[in-house]
Amino acid sequence: MAKKLRSLDHHTQVRLIPSYVLVVTWAIFTFVLIGWVFFASFSTSQEIFSDSMFKFESGFHFENYIRAWNTQKVSVYFMNSLMYTVVSCTSIILIASPAAYVLSRFKFRGNLSIQSLLASALGIPAIMIVMPLFSLVSRLRLTNNRWLLIFLYIAMNVPFTTFFLLAFFKSLSTTYEEAAYIDGCSPMGTFWRIMFPLVQPGIITVTVFNFITIWNEYFMSMIFANKPKVRPVSVGLFNMIQAMRYTGDWGGMFASVVIVFLPTFLLYIFLSERIIQGVTAGAIKG
């Protein structure tokens, strides 16, 4: 039997050759795509154009990064984005997990409707909500306000996060609450001290996911943050690329691209399993 299974396995590997060819080609293409930008970011504009980029005849040009970081204001965008994502991701969890807990634990009228409302938010296109928000914000004179941007990032991601965490709370046994009740812990205390720490795996997954979403968010940021001082990286990068076409500083432009994608890229290298879990868990329920 063992022999038969092994020969089956061998057979499978042979039959999978076309799959290997395609998957490996796809993977190489992805690496070449990202690798090229990485190499280009250390080259001079002339080298990029002359096809002799990979030789690095004039050495590695780290000054591309320094130029991008200082003159092209990447530092400003980067720090903005860092602040926006960290504050929003934390607040999202503080708002979404109590809601998810209550929805998963208590029977009350409207519970199911609220759950489907939250799930439906995933299908509401940004184009549907942006106009009233803009008119409200401009009447309140809040455009180009950091806290407004953070509020939008939070509010746009709370429904999905709540929906995502619901399943995690549902899977916890009610004996925790019973024990806590007997020991005289209040329901709210039980939540923060016992239940909240127990869903930590779910919280980490969804936070990594939210981090990537907010870091890369473009449409809303473009509309609500048009002053360079408050721009996040995605909008900053787009404007930089447009400007770079005229200044001709290609090395600096690719350095900016690398700086912008490096945080999510590194996060992905270390946490790809979690991110993948997040995608599949969220999608299956949706």
Does 230 engage in binding with another protein (CB under 8 A)? Answer: no
Q: Which residue among 64, 149, 159, 230 contacts another protein (CB under 8 A)?
A: 159
- Identify residues 88-127 at the interface with another protein (CB under 8 A): 95-96, 98-99, 101-103, 106, 108, 114, 117-118, 121-127
Residue 143: exposure state from Cβ atoms within 10 A (0-12, 13-18, ≥19) = middle
Does 132 engage in binding with another protein (CB under 8 A)? Answer: yes
Q: How far apart are CA 85 and CA 78, in angstroms?
A: 11
Return the range that interacts with another protein (CB under 8 A); candidates 66-74, 135-143, 171-179, 196-204. 135-143
Q: Which residue among 82, 83, 87, 133 contacts another protein (CB under 8 A)?
A: 133
Nearest in space to 217 (alpha carbons), one of 99, 95, 88: 88
Within 13 Å, how many C-alpha atoms sit on residue 58's CB side? 13
Q: Which residue among 66, 86, 112, 241 contacts another protein (CB under 8 A)?
A: 241
Closer to another protein by CB, 52 or 200: give it: 52
At position 179, the amino acid (one-letter code) is: A
Closer to another protein by CB, 66 or 276: give it: 276
The radius of gyration of the chain's CA atoms, rounded to the nearest angstrom, is: 24
Cβ atoms of 73 and 90 within 8 Å: the answer is no
Q: Which residue among 74, 149, 152, 225 contacts another protein (CB under 8 A)?
A: 152
Q: Which residue among 25, 30, 58, 200 contacts another protein (CB under 8 A)?
A: 30
Return the range that interacts with another protein (CB under 8 A); candidates 54-62, 64-72, 198-206, 255-263. 255-263
Return the range that interacts with another protein (CB under 8 A); candidates 42-50, 72-80, 82-90, 168-176. 42-50
Closer to another protein by CB, 159 or 202: give it: 159
Closer to another protein by CB, 61 or 257: give it: 257
Does 199 engage in binding with another protein (CB under 8 A)? Answer: no
Cβ atoms of 240 and 72 within 8 Å: the answer is yes
Residue identified by tokens 């090395």 is: 251
Output the DSSP codes for 120-179: HGGGS-HHHHHHHHHHHHHHTT-TT-HHHHHHHHHHHHHHHHHHHHHHHHHTS-THHHHH
Does 59 engage in binding with another protein (CB under 8 A)? Answer: no
Tokens representing 251 are 């090395």
Closer to another protein by CB, 69 or 268: give it: 268
